[in-house]
Structure 1
Amino acid sequence: MTSLAAHPVDAALSALATGRPMVLSAADAALILPAAKVSTTALAFVVRHSSGLVSVALPGDRCDALELPPMCPSFRAGDGPAWCVAVDAATGVTTGISAADRAETIRRLADPATVPQDLHRPGHVLPCATHPQGILGRLAIPEAAVDLCLRAGHSAAAVFAGLVSPSDPRRMATPRESVAFAAEHGLPVLDLSDAVRNCQANQRIPRSG
């Protein structure tokens, strides 16, 4: 177990339920936020401590409904992340790159009422289509992030961004560094393998929308 919390899954779900970030640790670590409840302040924190590339994991059928085409058709068929064309909100933003603008776009992606015309393409937020069976179908951060957000009471939409090493900005954070970072900032941290085991124990498969 990589977390110092007695119940790391509960701590992660509690943070996500109130819109606070958590750290999901794998070979590389990522900061996770619920897309439906993302605030400008929380997103600015994520941007500051990540590579700056902010992504939103969504079920594949929701990406299709929003007319978010894959960057390359083969992405959906492979084992890697199924990146879609980046988007901005069509209204309520300026350049699209600020934390405030990206938070607005992210909330639009999480809103079930959003339709394709509510988004401009290309933009500054990168959607990622998840496996239909979620983390039980593909062991990866996007799928785990969506599952955790669902279990925290939100829609199936999760912000994720790779955590940069606090000691060396030229590389991503190691699992050990991610635990130290989480402790420094008072964030819960959960190992990807623990998220999978908990999901299997609860027999939870992420659903659409």
Structure 2
Amino acid sequence: MTTASFDVLPLDALLAPGRPLVLSSETDAALVLPAAEASTTALAFVVRHSSGLVGVALPGDRCDTLELPPMRPSFRRGPGWCVAVDAATGVSTGISAADRAETIRRLGCRDTRPADLHRPGHVLPYATHPRGIRGRLAIPEAAVELCRLTGLPAAAAFAALVSPSDPRRMAAPDESAAFAAAHGLPVLGIAAVLQPTASC
């Protein structure tokens, strides 16, 4: 599989506003957006080519600040899904691409407070590993690290990519590069995110 590297594409090209990035691991691939810059058009594209379940990866301490409880109460200090949310204002049913984009931007805004979110909702926050990508090399942690490295809030929307050739299954890693090329999107392996991280 051919993927971009930080030597080939600068970070601002990888995370261009309004355009998803294909982020792949050895076992899966996902469409990723900086949460702070999620647009309705970009989210509609993500939903169309994914499972439709859109998460927002956030550091665990940010989930605590926003009072986002874990979906499984017995689980607290590791990576895992939190209770789904909607933006408290500016949305209708919460499920449309426009509504979910609004909620995702709220999760990506540094000024958002707990009262700005209703629970439950239609967007699933995901608390990343306490040590981030250094503690767990996975798509949510890598997506948050990419946002951090570009100076954006540490929050990234992500959704698992569906196979372009067989919509009954999720995309295999070797399909992600072809999908990205077909749609003019950058593609990056999560291991490459460790390169600039190691030098920070």
For the aligned pair, the TM-score class normalised by the smaller chain equals over 0.9
Aligned to 1:129: 127
Whole-angstrom CA distance in 1 between matches of 2:113 and 2:106: 9
SS of 1:10's equivalent in the other structure is coil
| Higher deviation after alignment, 8-17 or 64-73 | 8-17
Aligned to 1:56: 56
Aligned to 1:174: 172
* One-letter amino acid matched to 1:94: S
Whole-angstrom CA distance in 2 between matches of 1:182 and 1:2: 11
The verdict on how the C-alpha distance between 1:6 and 1:112 changes in structure 2, with shifts beyond 3 A counting, is closer
Extract structure 1 runs of 4+ deviating beyond 4 A: 5-9
Aligned to 2:20: 21
* One-letter amino acid matched to 2:28: D
Aligned to 2:100: 102
Whole-angstrom CA distance in 1 between matches of 2:24 and 2:149: 18
Give the TM-score normalised by the residue count of structure 2.
0.93
- Provide the alpha-carbon RMSD of the alignment: 1.8
Deviation at 1:9, TM superposition (A): 6.5
Q: Deviations over 1:7-37 (max 9, x none)?
A: 5673554231434211011111000000001
The verdict on how the C-alpha distance between 1:10 and 1:71 changes in structure 2, with shifts beyond 3 A counting, is same
* One-letter amino acid matched to 1:173: A
Aligned to 1:67: 67
Aligned to 1:39: 39
Q: Could you tell me whether the CA contact under 8 Å between 2:67 and 2:114 is conserved in 1? A: yes
SS of 1:108's equivalent in the other structure is helix
Q: Deviations over 1:131-173 (max 9, x none)?
A: 2221011111110000001112210000000000011111110
The verdict on how the C-alpha distance between 1:11 and 1:25 changes in structure 2, with shifts beyond 3 A counting, is farther
* One-letter amino acid matched to 1:184: A
Whole-angstrom CA distance in 2 between matches of 1:134 and 1:7: 19
Whole-angstrom CA distance in 2 between matches of 1:12 and 1:168: 31
Q: Deviations over 1:26-82 (max 9, x none)?
A: 11100000000110001110000000000000111111111100011344345xx41
- Number of residues of Structure 1 aligned to a counterpart in Structure 2: 199
- Could you list the runs of 5+ residues in structure 1 that have no partner in the other structure? 204-209
**More helix, by proportion:** 1
Q: Could you tell me whether the CA contact under 8 Å between 2:84 and 2:120 is conserved in 1? A: yes
Matched-pair identity in %? 72
Whole-angstrom CA distance in 2 between matches of 1:59 and 1:86: 16
